[in-house]
Structure 1
């Protein structure tokens, strides 16, 4: 048994039974079964598309709702600002930027521990718990009376929100194979785009409550959205599922099938006739600290961070400052709130479409680099012109590239990390350290640079160019490693390793092929 502990003895027995069924099927496929046991054989009666549809319906909507509220709660400070937050709390522009920045310090610090806890604890308990905590923090932000109060609230918001995005991104890899994961990551992450659209609409409506209960409109933005988060968290306790082994919406045979297909993904071997085929090399599951150390010392994690920064800096630049940038183009606060909506809607649609084709062709880097080039066009338009329509068009183009690129970057790394715990730590490290880019982006758009914000747009362009270079380094490196491993297998080195040794090596095994 691994560290994914079900809540009861009966569930533990059920998990063991499912794993036994999956193992029996594996024996049958390898020609090691007796043929007398009806559980032994291939999964010929399982409709894979039907199973995927079941999983999509039961998992994605709730996860998207959680992330929608998460992104809404961390970014609504931008909507509150143009409704009077900065003036009411007597903050300088530098103090406001500090309130944006400190969120990312605690957010980055707690992501790796949270992901390891998610693996140890039940997702259906851990994710709603942290959601209740950040909902309470968000609600209390509505009653802060000073810069220091807001600063402390943003610090605690970072602590409580830290586990959601890396947790869900990793959680999905425990259900879906790597050739189908980006579409699901995009469906989940597109909630961020929808959150941006909702944020403008909600802020527009909630701001009309200005004066009710003696509270300013911006305070009601925090209070009502925080309460909504707590209510959805209460529902999530009952609607979230833990792992495929215990999923009640799947039959016993379907659960065994899902477990089986996840265990033997990403590995190849050369058969006697020279053809490349799937290798039966299961991923290691028992927790050992060496898997965490491997994630921290893996070169690809650190190179991928530069790609991540090239997307996350523009992402937070847009999400935190978009209402302010649009308002600076001589629009009213209400109009600026509404003008953010179409940007996010189109971005969400493009994120899903691009993810579908990325999964279909089995490639990540061409889409990521393409969207990075699209961002360059958008931010260049913002720098080159002072015409409000051109600047708005540039922001539109940039946003429509940022939101599709982000799930691609997350998926690219998780596709190339093998071993459950290494993937957990590696993804948390990528997102945790990567989100320090949000701390940097929080200071890109200074009030003194309004309305052109040339410095902010220029810094975004610099990070984007860095991401393109890092992407090319990854592509070249993956190609060389895959070619070298193929040659080693052709030379017969596979015979030197046992199945257990290959399993322990994870993505460093000669049977593993990097996706690029």
Structure 2
């Protein structure tokens, strides 16, 4: 056994046998960790500081990162999700009737968005890395804001279909890009709550969108436009303006972020290195990173789990106003009644993000939350009582939204390497969003008011892919960790240089998977 393998084995000794990720290192271990992970080769701006001083400096650094990164990114995703799902609010305000569309044509418009959205997602993280976030994100926001505005100017099915397709192209880079971006700033034990706050904007968008749509729809007749037209036009203009502002409010990666001092830059890179990550450092793209992601079983396992999340997510968010309107409420009241389920989902999403960070049990968090969703859609499927069905929408929202953020963080936690992680998240999120095509076509007009087919398909997605996939992935990762702990992966580093070991990414014997 080589000296490097012995060092890695010593580092892994404090990990419990069930595969839970190790606790953060004590300062007394800093010298050993520096040797194992190559930190001794990096400048240490806090050399000579006491343990208490280091802890205080680190806490202040993380707090500053939070204020500089999270609020604006959360706002951008709120706008993004609002723009892709407000068509559901527009539908119950007369969009289908005014454009002389059939139910099938409306569903086709929904499907076209997900085809382009999913198709472009695997490529976007590479573009994000090469163009810089401060360039890439403002460009795509301005493009989708313009497209959104054009949706309010269409006169027929063809125009709406074209606009939805290009909206998917433009929006494709935001969600995978920001999740990948956050993983390049925070430790694996820190990203969950941040990603949950970011994704909670989706639930808030559903809540806020219902209120906003109800208000904007009252502009019916202004400028000769229908109320639903103004929903698209006003929200699109706001998106374009936010896109322009994002040039100054979106920061680049740690190795190039202008708001960081040289000392803080080194602190960010060192703390990620200590967490078995190299994502803050510069790395040139190679096709080997792409193939490493494609050949990794974890990529496809997370794609299956995320498929269960997104198939349910888009069915719920696109059709919730329609489902509620079939309980006997007017379009305005249906939009307003869609607010509380989303608000509850936002709160639980943030709580699960915090809980998963604290416990390291992302798989079990998925399992527990998915049971709420399964219960909710069982209520929607099995009951005809309006009160029970409305309660089912609450449990449905609670069982979907927290799992989306938690699954993406789970995938990011267990994929190391700048470009491999970017490609993996692109594949996982792209495949999940492609299932929006299914979601767009399962709530058919002929199935109202109970929509049994739609509820049954969503229920199957949650049981088979979300619950089943989470259980499989959890136990498979536990098995992988046990193999690493007993040294069955140590042969991978025999005879390799430090640089070659680093290129192994999450296959390194000292990289313990988050379960």
Same fold (TM over 0.5): yes
Cross-structure match for 1:129: 139
Aligned positions of 1:286-365 closer than 5 A:
286-365=284-363
Cross-structure match for 1:511: 510
| Cα-to-partner distance string for 1:190-228 (whole Å, 9 max, x where unaligned) | 111111111101110000000010100000000000001
Q: Whole-Å Cα distance in 2 between the matches of residues 371 and 491 of structure 1?
A: 36
CA, structure 1 residues 398+252, in 2 after alignment: closer, same or farther (shift >3 Å)?
A: same
Q: Whole-Å Cα distance in 2 between the matches of residues 403 and 441 of structure 1?
A: 15
1:241 to 251, 258, 261: 251
Cross-structure match for 2:478: 479
* Deviation, structure 1 residue 286: 2.8
* Deviation, structure 1 residue 28: 11
Cross-structure match for 1:109: 119
Cross-structure match for 2:223: 213
* Deviation, structure 1 residue 112: 1.7
Cross-structure match for 2:92: 82
CA, structure 1 residues 485+203, in 2 after alignment: closer, same or farther (shift >3 Å)?
A: same
CA, structure 1 residues 387+38, in 2 after alignment: closer, same or farther (shift >3 Å)?
A: closer
What is the total number of aligned residue pairs between the two structures?
Answer: 479
Cross-structure match for 1:369: 367
CA, structure 1 residues 289+87, in 2 after alignment: closer, same or farther (shift >3 Å)?
A: same
1:423 to 421, 424, 431: 421
Q: Whole-Å Cα distance in 2 between the matches of residues 33 and 113 of structure 1?
A: 32
Asked if 2 retains the 8 angstrom alpha-carbon contact of 1:43 and 1:257, the reply is: no
* Deviation, structure 1 residue 42: 6.6
| Cα-to-partner distance string for 1:10-39 (whole Å, 9 max, x where unaligned) | xxxxxxxxxxxxxxx99994499999x985
CA, structure 1 residues 263+453, in 2 after alignment: closer, same or farther (shift >3 Å)?
A: same
Q: Whole-Å Cα distance in 2 between the matches of residues 140 and 54 of structure 1?
A: 38
**Higher normalized contact order (CA 8 Å, seq sep 6+, divided by chain length):** 2
1:403 to 393, 401, 404: 401
Cross-structure match for 1:456: 454
Asked if 1 retains the 8 angstrom alpha-carbon contact of 2:279 and 2:417, the reply is: no
Where 1:115 maps in the other structure, the secondary structure is helix
CA, structure 1 residues 142+27, in 2 after alignment: closer, same or farther (shift >3 Å)?
A: same
| Cα-to-partner distance string for 1:253-296 (whole Å, 9 max, x where unaligned) | 222110111234238xxxxxxxxxxxx99988332110011112
TM-score (norm 2): 0.88
Asked if 1 retains the 8 angstrom alpha-carbon contact of 2:184 and 2:279, the reply is: no
| Cα-to-partner distance string for 1:79-128 (whole Å, 9 max, x where unaligned) | 00001000011111011000000101110111122110101111011101
Cross-structure match for 1:192: 202
Q: Whole-Å Cα distance in 2 between the matches of residues 294 and 124 of structure 1?
A: 28
* Deviation, structure 1 residue 41: 3.3
Q: Whole-Å Cα distance in 2 between the matches of residues 63 and 453 of structure 1?
A: 35
Q: Whole-Å Cα distance in 1 between the matches of residues 221 and 489 of structure 2?
A: 75
1:139 to 130, 138, 149: 149
1:119 to 114, 129, 132: 129
Q: Whole-Å Cα distance in 1 between the matches of residues 421 and 453 of structure 2?
A: 36
Residue ranges of structure 1 left out of the alignment (5+ in a row): 1-24, 268-279
- Say if 2:66 is the partner of 1:68: no
1:202 to 191, 203, 212: 212
Q: Whole-Å Cα distance in 1 between the matches of residues 39 and 216 of structure 2?
A: 64
Asked if 2 retains the 8 angstrom alpha-carbon contact of 1:374 and 1:398, the reply is: yes
Q: Whole-Å Cα distance in 2 between the matches of residues 135 and 338 of structure 1?
A: 25
* Deviation, structure 1 residue 499: 1.9
TM-score (norm 1): 0.88
Q: Whole-Å Cα distance in 1 between the matches of residues 175 and 115 of structure 2?
A: 15
Where 1:74 maps in the other structure, the secondary structure is helix
* Deviation, structure 1 residue 328: 0.6
Asked if 2 retains the 8 angstrom alpha-carbon contact of 1:283 and 1:506, the reply is: no
* Deviation, structure 1 residue 434: 1.4
